[in-house]
Structure 1
Amino acid sequence: MKFLLEVDMGDSGFDGEAAKELGRILRYWAGGLQHYDLQPGDSAVVVDSAYREVGKWSVVGPSATEG
């Protein structure tokens, strides 16, 4: 299976604050990780610091490399 994280940083890369915003998104997601089984089909939206939906994460499977 694969874990996919997709974040749309917009045309301006979060107004030049991409590292800061992506770091916050990753910390927020990692903090909530324990609430998911992380099985194929699990997913959730990803929001920025203004709570705007900017992407999603999902678990898909099986991976293309699995027999």
Structure 2
Amino acid sequence: MRFLLEVDIDDTPPDADPARELGRILRYWAGNLRHYDLGGGAGSAVHDSAYREVGRWTVTGTQAPPAPAPHTPGPEAP
């Protein structure tokens, strides 16, 4: 499964702490994860504390792409 989470906090109000707001968003989202079906194509908007849409999470597939093969050095040249 490939899971993507994108959150844009560039428009956080000047009196708000961006790190604190992002932490709140992530805690809220993680706490509700059990309510979602994580099958391919699933997704939902992500909201900040003012309930403004600031991002989205999506499941883009049911399998992760294969890992690249490890580099195997060839025979030494004479």
TM above 0.5:
yes
Consecutive unaligned residues of structure 2, counting only runs of 5 or more, are 68-78
Question: What is the RMSD of the two structures over their aligned residues, measured on CA atoms?
Answer: 1.8
The corresponding residue for 2:66 is: 66
Superposition deviation, residue 36 in structure 1: 1.1
Question: Number of residues paired by the alignment?
Answer: 64
What whole-Å deviation, never above 9, does each CA across 1:11-56 have from its counterpart, x for those lacking one?
Answer: 5xx2361210111011111111111121111101000110000010
Q: Which runs of 4+ in 1 moved over 6 A?
A: none
Question: Residues of 1 paired with 2:17 and 2:39: CA distance?
Answer: 32
Identity of aligned residues (%): 59
The corresponding residue for 1:51 is: 51
Task: Look at both structures and tell me which one has the larger radius of gyration over its CA atoms.
Answer: 2
Consecutive unaligned residues of structure 1, counting only runs of 5 or more, are none
The residue identity in structure 2 corresponding to 1:28 is: Y
Pick which of 15-24 and 36-45 moved more: 15-24
The corresponding residue for 2:21 is: 21
Show the 5 A alignment for 1:24-35.
Answer: 24-35=24-35
Superposition deviation, residue 66 in structure 1: 3.0
Q: TM-score, normalised by structure 1?
A: 0.81
Q: TM-score, normalised by structure 2?
A: 0.71
